[in-house]
Each structure stands twice: as structure tokens, then as C-alpha cells.
Amino acid sequence: MSSDQDPNVMIGLKNVLSKIEAAVARRNANLPQIAPRLVAVSKIKPAALIVEAYEHGQRDFGENYVNELAEKASDPLILEKCKDIKWHFIGHLQTNKINKLLGSPNLYIVETVHSEKLADNLNKQWPKYRKSDEKLPVMVQINTSAEEAKNGIEPSETTKVVEYVLKNCPNLDFKGLMTIGQYDYDVSQGPNPDFLTLVKCRQEVCENLNLDINNVELSMGMSTDYEHAIELGATTVRVGSVIFGARPPKAN
């Protein structure tokens, strides 16, 4: 594993990609056969490491603070060397930061829509920032672990909120569901209940709203459990420390 002093991004990336491939081979055949997307979570890490990962083929990057995403997305080095970079916002989005986020170059998706109000705001603001008439891709964040401190809607609200986005937010492109879930779940106890809940939310929302399950992504799984998440159906995994090196404690 790479350390903070001597990160070897290329090796980290290769390892993760080959483990993703192996996990895909173990995936249940009943699941949509979607090639999972790796989002490299670069929070706290400098632009130079992002460029390094980009030069080894990585295109999707994730940040969980608006200021940090905005700063990195506008970094001259990144703008010059990472022309096709795709930024995923994966943190808690406050209303007063929406404009800053939407104005960030190469913003690709907001994975953390946690209320109808936030969807409304994004829908209203996006036309000011988009090029041509492209919609803003979004995922709806579900609080699968019922923890007070976690953001996201209740699993039972999934259909209502997704329907709201589909019917009332013509500038948003609903892409799927996202969860963070509880940290340090012990897989020896069986499949991670957060991941099972997200899979079930997708099942229900697709039935209720007549959506094609192949078009509804699941963003779940981080450094410690992305392989497990893929086996259970993740189509997007968000992996940071095993690519870029450990972060200082509490710097999440």
C-alpha cells in the first residue's frame, strides 16, 4: 500500500482496477452487467497526484468539499493537463455553495442530492452555468444506515424524490442512487446491509416508476469495501486512500 510520503498512484490505480475486474467476475449474474466506474477520491491530495492518475488513464475524480473541488477544478495545471477530467461531487451540498459548485469547470455529476429542495435549486441554477443545453447529471443520496449524522433521504422516500426529479427538474438528468453507509462494517457478518438496502431501493424505484434497471446506477463502496460493493451491484465505486495514500485521521 502506498503511504502519504511516497504515494505510488500508478500502482494503487492498477491494483484497484484489477480488483474491480475480479469483483465483476464474482458478481451475481442477475445484476445488470454494467462495467463499474472508478471514481478516484482525491480529497486532501494535491493537484500533481490528480494529474499523475489522469496520465495513467483515470478520468473520474471525486471531492466532498465544494471549495476544494472548485479550487482543484480551476487549477491551471489540471485545466491544462486533464482536459477530459470528470468531477464528481460526493459531499454535503449546502444551498450557499451551489453556485460555486455549478461554476466549477468539468463538473460531471452531483452524487449527493438529499432533498427535493436541493434538486429544485440545482435545477434552477444549472442553466446559468451549462454549455449548450446539456442536463446536469445527479444521483439521489439515500441514508441507508439510518444514522442521524448521515445525509440523504430515507429509503422509503426514494420513489417520491426520484419522481420529483424526473417530473419537476427538466434541467437535471437522474442517473442513480448513492449511499455512504456505515464505516467499518465487518463483512464476515454477511453482505453489507447498506448495500443491500440501496439495491432494494433501486428495485423498488424502477418498479414504481417503470424505469429500466440498467439505466439506474448505484454508487456505493470505498477503499475498504469496493470489491464487496461491486459483488452486490455497485456501478460506481468511490475509492481514495488505496489509490492516493492514507489521509491524516479526521481529515475526512
- Chain residues binding ligand PLP by CB under 6 A are 41, 43, 64, 90, 180, 222-223, 238-241, 252
76 versus 248: smaller Cβ distance to ligand PLP: 248
Q: Using the minimum distance from each CB to ligand PLP, give the nearer residue, 62 or 155.
A: 62
Contact 231, 21 (CB under 8 A): no
Task: Report d(CA 40, CA 223) in Å as an integer.
Answer: 10
Question: Cβ 63 to ligand PLP, closest distance in Å?
Answer: 9
Residue number of the CB atom closest to ligand PLP:
240
In terms of CB distance, is 11 or 124 closer to ligand PLP? Answer: 11
The owner of cell 445484476 is 31
Contact 140, 161 (CB under 8 A): yes
β-strand 60-63 against 236-239: which pairing, if any?
A: unpaired
Q: How many CB atoms lie within 10 A of CB 198?
A: 27
- Least distance (Å) from ligand PLP to the CB of residue 141? 9
DSSP lists the bridge partners of residue 61 as 40, 87
In angstroms, rounded to a whole number, what is the distance separating the alpha carbons of residues 219 and 25?
A: 18
The whole-angstrom separation of Cα 199 and Cα 155 is 10
* Nearest-approach distance from CB 116 to ligand PLP, in angstroms: 21
Nearer to ligand PLP, 208 or 252 (CB): 252
CB-nearer residue toward ligand PLP: 139 or 161: 139
From the CB of 24, what's the least distance to ligand PLP, in Å?
A: 19
Residue type present at position 235: T
Q: Which is nearer to ligand PLP, 125 or 179 (CB)?
A: 179
Three-state secondary structure call for residue 162: helix
Beta bridge partners of 137: 173
Nearest distance in Å: CB 3, ligand PLP: 14
Nearest distance from C-beta of residue 201 to ligand PLP, angstroms: 17
Residue type, 145: S
